[in-house]
Structure 1
């Protein structure tokens, strides 16, 4: 599994509060585990409901997870590709619901 971040994601992550970063990192560990299972069984895999994993309509291979349901809400968007059976994730945005306007 490979990860990278675009500069916008890095800047938005730095603007999160320490509590928001901690919550994201907790969710990120669930996400990593799910990606590892997905790599092994992509056809029979179901994403954990806790991630609220969704493909964003109108954007090619852009997905989102929700890392906080309480106010303030927390979401992150990413581009996902499978290259030679390996998951490649590019983190695009992180923040609140408004990131969906330009994920």
Structure 2
């Protein structure tokens, strides 16, 4: 079973999701993402997991028509188990650059 952690930004983003969005994300994790990680095979096409061009080592996963989450792989916490660091979650807007000065 993979291990995971969340960044503070992910936690803030997650808190802004609707209850339905949270439920859908959890369902996709348990029924698709985790089993695909455990199988050591590729992710199923429906998850559309791909690298984020502007951020090497960061990946995007589609969990709903306009639901995206970004993650990266971290150092193993338990020997032989994949460790995921969740970075952002929300709609496609999570890819917009933050407002600047």
TM-score normalized with structure 2 length: 0.82
Pairing of 1:81-92 with structure 2 (within 5 A): 81=74, 83=76, 85-92=80-87
Partner of 1:77: 70
**Matched residue SS, 1:22:** helix
- For 1:17 and 1:4, locate their aligned partners in 2 and report how far apart those are by CA, in whole Å: 21
Question: Bigger shift: 84-93 or 13-22?
Answer: 84-93
Aligned length: 93
**Separation in 2 of the partners of 1:66 and 1:36?**
19
The SS at the match of 1:60 is coil
Q: How does 1:1-103 map to 2 (within 5 A)?
A: 1-29=2-30, 30-38=32-40, 45-69=41-65, 73-81=66-74, 83=76, 85-101=80-96
* C-alpha distance in structure 1 between counterparts of 2:44 and 2:92, whole Å: 20
Deviation string for 1:18-69 (max 9, x for gaps)?
Answer: 111111111111101111112xxxxxx2210111111111312100111111
CA-CA distance at 1:98 after TM superposition: 1.6
Q: CA RMSD in A?
A: 1.6
Unpaired segments of 5 or more residues in structure 1? Answer: 39-44
Which whole-Å CA distance do the structure 2 matches of 1:36 and 1:77 have between them?
19
Q: Determine the structure 2 residue equivalent to 1:42.
A: none
SS in 1 for 2:82: strand
